[in-house]
Structure 1
Amino acid sequence: MNSPAADSTFRTAVARQLDSFVGEQRRLLTDLDPAVGDLVDAAVDFTAGGKLLRPTFCHAGWLLAGGAPSDERIAAAGAAFEWLQGSALVHDDLMDGSDTRRGRPSVHRDFEARHVAAGGHGEAHEYGARVAILVGDLMLSWADEQLRRAEPDARAARLWDACKSEVVSGQFLDVLAQTRDRLDVASAMHVIRFKSAKYTIERPLHVGAALAGGDDDLLGRLTEVALPLGEAFQLRDDVLGVFGDPADTGKPIGDDLREGKRTVLVARTADAVGHERVLALLGTQEGVAELHDLIESSGALEQVEADIDRLVEQSLRAIARIGPSAGPVLEPLVDAAIRRVR
């Protein structure tokens, strides 16, 4: 069985699904008004260059449940996860005030700049924010439409719906955490589970397996693989958000610190050097360099790297328990999720 991580045929099939869908949507929406083509272009441009991680995990679940590798239904489901991811990121960038995504302006900044260039009436930042909300909403609608092309049964549809509700709940928990006067590792890990681990790995695996007729026992075993791996994935993302090369991440160095993200990395630093000191630096341009150094010198970075290793080992043991067919499918995805630079 080929590894989904290296399956260019599947990636091509997902791209074909996305292109076909966009062509139909463009005809429909520009018939309403040619100006709406700007929304379509923004959605397409925003999803270009993604890692296709969620589609790949969806494909893995499909393969482990016995699905045919080249079936277009799984490519359609994979494409649905790309629209869902795009929707979440557009809204996430707006809430975080992020200036860039993948080395390009975030959607709200892009449309803010367009407003300025055109000499538009009203506040440019409000226009950018409103359009970003609409682009994200449009992609969320597209995600549902795209999934229907995979002809999901009731169970697969329920898993898809759970995924959407969980990621919104995780996002809310993240927003709520920003209002508290302490940084807490357990709280940050709780946010990770719902905002990232379930949405990035568990539910894509579940939806793919359910589409191929996988039973509840398989879904349970996939959860044992997915949750620790998804947590490790987000911890790696947090490390890259502070120490990653901007040429790889597409974000300025220390952007997560500037945006005030309350990650496990930051919480472990606060435990070591004091919460008041870290909170005074977090979310400020002036505090980025000092906080960057504190994360490393306090041992927080080393601790988080140890957390990642522990969680990966837990996931690998769960893969082994599924049986010999699981390793060739899932183990390369572990590397793709953790040994990365963006």
Structure 2
Amino acid sequence: MADLKSKFLKVYSVLKSELLEDPAFDFTKDSRQWVERMLDYNVPGGKLNRGLSVIDSYQLLQQGRELTEDEIFLASALGWCIEWLQAFFLVLDDIMDGSHTRRGQPCWFRLPKVGMIAVNDGVVLRNHIPRILRKYFREKPYYADLLDLFNEVEFQTASGQMIDLITTIEGEKDLSKYSLSIHRRIVQYKTAYYSFYLSVACALLMSGEELEKHIDVKNILVEMGIYFQVQDDYLDCFGDPETIGKIGTDIEDFKCSWLVVKALELCNEEQKKVLHENYGKPDPENVATVKALYKELDIEGVFADYESKSYKKLTSWIEGHPSKAVQAVLKSFLGKIYKRQK
């Protein structure tokens, strides 16, 4: 795995060098330096799970056949396209949320001299993806499918972000809008497609498969993505900031979090009043009151129950899939996220 990760990081260096010499734009010394610094700060800093999953998935779909260097490079390039997409979303997401930290360091837009230039940097990051795809996949029979896939997933993610933002409009803090079905919709579109489906879809296309024939795989991965986000919501409140690399602000930000939705389902009228009065307020006392209510309702226990039921349900769906290779891909995903701490 360490070897794979170091190979993967080498591909990042190759792609970055090529983008900094892209013939479509005449770089100045300053602009080249800016883009390089912006890329190094935002693209390779995370866990790289989404990107590495393309290589893992493609390898598993080949059922034991050793991959050629060219195949590893192409799978890595697609993996990096997903990491670029993630960087684009996160740079803009942090601005919209007014966040302070990301991956254990200040958000890009918080850096001196960056500020709102970060908005354009996000657009640049997004535009690097078709440049990479064009260079390496233009002659492949699945090139159009790849472009379609990235465009569709980006559209789904942006639409999910929109539902999230309009559900939490400033000055309209109304908890009665929040429900499990709204939470599920936000998560399905905002997170599940790009974080789970996209990696496997890239590997399937590289393997010569047609995505229309794998709707069941998409559905299982979307369910897995929803489970992953529920874990994220849980870790935002109960996780260790040192471990997860950020300070959770879902309570202050009035987020439609799984925790608040479950709390609303479980609490009595008096507790509901406490939640309405304290949720979405920046004061640490209000936040502490909400967390105390979560403890009172045993939200941690409710989550543990949800986690074990989700794991059983997903495992039985995966085992029902006719292809052993696809089963291996899906089991590998589930294994990576079950009971994660970050």
Structure 1 length normalisation: TM-score?
0.84
For residues 143 and 13 of structure 1, the distance between their equivalents in structure 2, rounded to whole angstroms, comes to 20
Return the match for 1:255 from 249, 258, 266.
249
Structure 1 residue aligned with 2:293: 294
Return the match for 2:277 from 277, 280, 290.
280
Q: Is the 8 A contact 1:156 1:211 kept in 2?
A: no
Match of 2:320, SS state, is helix
Return the match for 2:264 from 261, 270, 279.
270
Q: Does 1:135 align with 2:121?
A: yes
Q: Is the 8 A contact 1:60 1:330 kept in 2?
A: no
Judge which range, 24-33 or 179-188, deviates more.
24-33
Structure 2 residue aligned with 1:321: 320
Judge which range, 241-250 or 219-228, deviates more.
219-228
Match of 2:330, SS state, is helix
Q: Which amino acid aligns with 1:52?
A: L
Q: Deviations over 1:302-339 (max 9, x none)?
A: 32333333223222223222333344443232121233
Structure 2 length normalisation: TM-score?
0.84
Matches within 5 A, 1:18-167: 18-27=12-21, 31-35=27-31, 37-66=33-62, 69-70=67-68, 71=71, 72-110=73-111, 114-115=112-113, 128=115, 130-151=116-137, 152-167=142-157
Q: Does 1:336 align with 2:336?
A: yes
- Segments of structure 1 that go 5 or more residues without pairing to the other structure are 1-6, 116-126
Structure 1 residue aligned with 2:6: 12
Q: Is the 8 A contact 1:239 1:265 kept in 2?
A: yes
Displacement of 1:188 after TM fit? 0.7
Specify whether residues 14 and 94 from structure 1 end up closer, same or farther in structure 2 by C-alpha distance, changes over 3 A only: same
For residues 78 and 135 of structure 2, the distance between their equivalents in structure 1, rounded to whole angstroms, comes to 8
Specify whether residues 257 and 43 from structure 1 end up closer, same or farther in structure 2 by C-alpha distance, changes over 3 A only: farther
Judge which range, 63-72 or 169-178, deviates more.
63-72
Q: Does 1:228 align with 2:223?
A: yes
For residues 337 and 240 of structure 1, the distance between their equivalents in structure 2, rounded to whole angstroms, comes to 13
Q: Is the 8 A contact 1:87 1:139 kept in 2?
A: yes
Displacement of 1:246 after TM fit? 1.2
Displacement of 1:165 after TM fit? 0.7
Displacement of 1:60 after TM fit? 4.3
Tell me which stretches of 4 or more aligned residues in structure 1 moved more than 4 Å.
27-30
Match of 1:258, SS state, is coil
Percent identity of equivalent pairs: 21
Q: Deviations over 1:70-126 (max 9, x none)?
A: 41211110010010001111111111111001110001111xxx24xxxxxxxxxxx
Specify whether residues 271 and 103 from structure 1 end up closer, same or farther in structure 2 by C-alpha distance, changes over 3 A only: same
Q: Which amino acid aligns with 2:90?
A: L
Root mean square deviation, CA, Å: 2.4
Count of residue pairs the alignment pairs up: 320
Structure 1 residue aligned with 2:161: 171
- Segments of structure 2 that go 5 or more residues without pairing to the other structure are none
Judge which range, 189-198 or 308-317, deviates more.
308-317
Q: Does 1:203 align with 2:198?
A: yes
Displacement of 1:36 after TM fit? 5.0
Displacement of 1:292 after TM fit? 1.6
Q: Which amino acid aligns with 1:55?
A: G
Q: Deviations over 1:29-88 (max 9, x none)?
A: 783241552343122112233112212333344345438634121111001001000111
